[in-house]
Amino acid sequence: MNSYTIEEVSFHNSENDAWIVINNIVYDITDFINEHPGGKNILLQFIGTDASEFFNELHQPSILEDYAENYKIGELN
């Protein structure tokens, strides 16, 4: 699995190039933004950052297992 720094993730901070970190896993959510059930605006606030705390307050861990596997591109180092 690829390894990224938070600085590398921070460069991917637009709607057309959107990476996010959740629980030390890096996801490329560019293709997911418009499909997010809560709308894209909430995701746009967190792209290019570690959104673990916010994500974990709102979601069950199984959400990542069920829906995020296809978007996983690496881990935070």
Question: Is residue 29 within 8 Å of residue 43, measured between CB atoms?
Answer: yes
* CA torsion, ordered 76, 65, 56, 30, to nearest 10 deg: 60
- Residue 75: the pLDDT is 98
Q: What is the pTM of this model?
A: 0.94
* Percent of the chain residues past pLDDT 90, beyond the cut: 90
Query: Comparing 1 with 34, which gets the higher pLDDT?
Result: 34
Q: Which helix (H) or strand (E) holds 8?
A: helix 6-10
